[in-house]
Amino acid sequence: METNQHRTTAAPGLGRYEIDPGASTVTFTTRHVFGLLPVHGSFAVRSGTVDITEPLTGSRVHAVIDPASFHTGSRRRDTAVCSARFLDTARHPSMTYTADRLDGTSITGMLTVCGVAQPVTLSIEKSASSAGAFTARATTRIDRTRFGVTAARGMAGRHLDVRIEVRCVRP
């Protein structure tokens, strides 16, 4: 039984919500040095909206992620990943995720990285709602080479296991 009376597992109310960037994160785990060393990192969520509709399958998500916020704790690695060799944040100052299909357990949409859009399905692991707000956690696996990010093959991991945690509030 839920002990926090302000938090329930009920679906969020219908309408538009804004993603709270200060309470939302994108974290990832990948491998480095021929797959031997784990690397953990994060990106900042810049902004976004979630429109909850009836039926739920018509709901929409739009999120903007700041690629220049790439952070792993290694300044050298972070600078290299933001460079033209990888994410080219000077030419591509945002990554976007736009989805128009929710089914309660997954969200299917298009992720755009470095100007390349590819379909990505997020698996919803957890969600909770309260009056005028909700939180959600979702995961997916991203193959960076599908977005044209192909530098350092063998040295930098090809796949990123991504976890998204968002807090959405009514405007």
Break the chain into its structural domains and give their ranges.
15-169
What is each CA distance from 153 to 86, 102, 116, in whole angstroms? 11, 34, 19
Confidence of residue 53 (pLDDT cuts 50, 70, 90): very high
The label of the residue with tokens 């390349």 reads: 116
Check whether domain 15-169 has CATH 2.60.40.10, yes or no: no
The percent of residues in the chain predicted with pLDDT above 90, rounded, is 78
Confidence of residue 35 (pLDDT cuts 50, 70, 90): low
User: Whole-angstrom Cα distance, residue 111 to residue 64?
Assistant: 10
What is each CA distance from 27 to 1, 50, 140, in whole angstroms? 29, 20, 11
The per-residue pLDDT for 137 is: 97
The per-residue pLDDT for 156 is: 79
The per-residue pLDDT for 31 is: 84
- Determine how many CB atoms are found less than 10 A away from the CB of residue 136: 22
For 143, the token pair is 């193959």
Q: Which amino acid is at 43?
A: F
